[in-house]
Amino acid sequence: MTKMRFPRANNLEWLRLVFAMQVVLVHTTAHIGTGTPAWLAAFPGVPAFFFVSGFLIYASYCNAPDRRYFENRFLRLFPALFLVAIGGLIVALLAKGLPDLAARPGLYFGWFFSQVTLGQAFNPAHFRDVGVGVINGSLWTITVEILFYVAVPVIVWMERNVTKHAVALLSGASFAIYVAGPAALTFRLAGKGLYEYLAITPIAWGWMFGFGMLAVKNWSRIAPNLKYFPIALVPMVAMALYGSGPLFNLSGERMGLLYFACYAGLILYAAFGIRAFPLRFDISYGTYVWHMPIINLLIVMGFPDPALAIPLVVAAAAVSWFCVEKPALALKRKSIKPVEDEVARPPQPEMEGVRG
């Protein structure tokens, strides 16, 4: 199997923290602030996470297509996910009281079980009066991520046994569903339209992961041209101001194809086209998964203040990193070997990079 390789020296960990903070700021200003600044919404964190995940996770599997891949994914996500599920449960109990747990143990168990398995989007109607109405609504993206992790081995198998263009073809199909699905896939099942179910799977968002996979597959062509990628900011500004439709749209996570392509180019430039600054800790995941429970906690406790939310989110993320994530990742076996090459040098065929 062809190895997927790129420079170890990069800013991907910093960027993931920036993406997480973008989501935190958008949700904080929307729920307990004065409204989200338009410029902040022009650089959405969730699509950026999907792109980077496609880049890293695809490379990770191609370099280690064995049980290490699934072990590493589990260690990256689930220990911290278990901790934040406990935090969400505490928020619910502060709002509802312990007698409510005694009266509805099945409901609470079902919610908790869904949070630590594959049902992160599940939010019982009983919790609609807690905080913003969803205890940890941002975790729908974790469901998408997990399903993408499961899909990667299938995609690689298709590349080897069906067509080498599998990533491009599947990405195109996903984009078609992403564009047409909200209007076309309206068949209702258990009270929801079909597309609402697809919207928490890579079927709808897979094309964003696909961009990341295609980027790492074509890294030898991309790297020598990274210096030109900041030019993408010019059409992004034009599309943000005047764009609409499936190619140019910008509305939260609903991005047009060309806008997303430009955005992905900026991400690659920031990751590999400028000097790399090592990050000694990685609180991006903790920041992302903890921010909505913190916002809900402040609302439940009667202190809906953005000035409190941000430091509390960072503190919770730090606890998650140092007490749970870092010890779990110490068990993780590397699936992408490091090299010393800097991004300023054109990549060689055998160059490879950071962990998945």
* Alpha-carbon span 36 to 27, nearest angstrom: 8
Q: Which tens digits make up the pLDDT trace of 185-228?
A: 999 988 889 999 999 999 999 999 999 999 999 999 999 999 99
Look at residues 211, 245, 240 and name the one whose alpha carbon lies nearest to residue 42: 240
pLDDT(42) > 50: yes
The mean of the pLDDT values for the chain is 91
So what's the pLDDT on residue 35? 80
Contact between 84 and 293 (Cβ < 8 Å): yes
Query: What's the pLDDT at 161?
Result: 96
140: pLDDT strictly greater than 90: yes
**3-class secondary structure per residue, 165-234:** CHHHHHHHHHHHHHHHHHHHCCCEECCEEHHHHHCCCHHHHHHHHHHHHHHHHCHHHHHHHHHHHHHHHH
Query: Rounded mean pLDDT of 313-320?
Result: 98
pLDDT tens for residues 54-108?
999 999 898 877 778 999 999 999 999 999 999 999 999 999 999 999 999 999 9
How many other C-beta atoms are found inside a 10 Å radius of the C-beta of residue 351? Answer: 19
What single-letter DSSP state applies at residue 138?
A: G
Dihedral sign of CA atoms 328, 329, 334, 335 in order: positive
pLDDT in tens, 247-289: 999 887 889 999 999 999 999 999 999 999 888 899 999 999 9
Residue with tokens 């064995």: 66
Q: What is the pTM of this model?
A: 0.91
